[in-house]
Structure 1
Amino acid sequence: MDLDELRKYDGTDCHVCLAVNGKVYDVTSKRQLYGPGGPYGLFAGRDASRCLAKFSTDASLLKNEHDDLSDLTSSEMNVLMEWAIQFEQLYPCVGRLLGPKDEPDVYTDDDESLPSSNEMDASTK
């Protein structure tokens, strides 16, 4: 999903989602933290990567456009990677955050490029 789509998931009408290092997580299970009025509610429907990398809840760090994070220090990138691991362990990943030149992945039930469940089973043996 892109940033405009992500913004719909700010917890006011539906799920609470946020992005961390290019992945979108459903944090609805912790609405009291990430939802409206919560201590991290500013992250709801946003890419929280820069704030997490800097251990900050400064809303001015949240961008309204794609943030390539290229100006983060190596230390900040390491911090962001640690946060990404935490989110991966705690919350379901529901997609990826698309950059301005990224195309969404589209899958259909009849997509022959995807392995069948039998092929998946055979490849794990």
Structure 2
Amino acid sequence: MTITRLLRLVARASIASPINLVLFSLFVIVVYMHFRPKPPVTLPTDSAPVVFRTFTPTSLIEFNGQGDKPVYLAVRGKVFDVTPGRNFYGPGGPYENFAGRDASRGLACQSFDDEMLTKDLKGPLDDLQGLDEEQLENLGGWEERFLEKYLVVGKLVAEGDPEAPK
């Protein structure tokens, strides 16, 4: 056996060995994974920008979550978009009677009864008279929670207020 023949035999045996084929296959896979084209990044679709606006009780009532409408409610004159909490504030939720309404008195009193809601939508806003210190503190806690969690989309003014939409 000549040296040339021996080298060919060794070369053929070492290149074609099963371990070398496995290692080469892994190398090819790693190179492919590293250099393959990346799928294009898809940006999340944002909802339409919300414009801060002025609401009256009659214009706020339409934002009660019925159909495709967002769910808004007011606390101390601030109107919050609580649509992300639709399960709580939307139709069928435990706080659904506050949707599209001023929820200040009901939240302060921790009551979901209909008598906590202003009956005369064209009358003055609830000035929260008659609430004790504990109820006002409770309302402040709710307001803080809403400010942390939800977007303020407007303010609530009485019908006939100079700032009321025409």
Calculate the TM-score normalised by the size of structure 2.
Answer: 0.60
Q: Which amino acid aligns with 1:9?
A: F
Larger Rg: 2
Residue 7 of structure 1 and its aligned partner are, at CA, apart by 0.2
Deviations along 1:14-50, one digit per CA (max 9) or x if unpaired, are 0100001110000011111110111111110011100
Residue 89 (structure 1) aligned to one of 148, 162, 165: 148
Aligned twin of 2:110: 55
Aligned residue pairs total: 106
CA distance 1:31–1:67, change in 2 (3 Å): same
Q: Which amino acid aligns with 1:35?
A: G
Aligned twin of 1:122: none
Greater share of helix residues, 1 or 2?
2
CA distance 1:15–1:84, change in 2 (3 Å): same
Deviations along 1:63-101, one digit per CA (max 9) or x if unpaired, are 133211122112211111111111000000001110346
- Verify the 8 A CA contact 2:157 2:164 in the aligned structure 1: no
CA RMSD of aligned residues (A): 1.6
Calculate percent identity across the aligned residue pairs.
Answer: 42
Q: Which amino acid aligns with 2:63?
A: Y
Residue 5 (structure 1) aligned to one of 54, 59, 67: 59
Does structure 1 residue 36 correspond to structure 2 residue 95? no
Gaps of at least 5 residues in structure 1 are 107-125
Aligned twin of 2:79: 24
How far apart in 2 are the matches of 1:81 and 1:16? Answer: 21
Q: Which runs of 4+ in 1 moved over 4 A?
A: none
Aligned twin of 1:75: 134
Q: Which amino acid aligns with 1:17?
A: Y
Q: Which amino acid aligns with 1:51?
A: G
Calculate the TM-score normalised by the size of structure 1.
Answer: 0.78
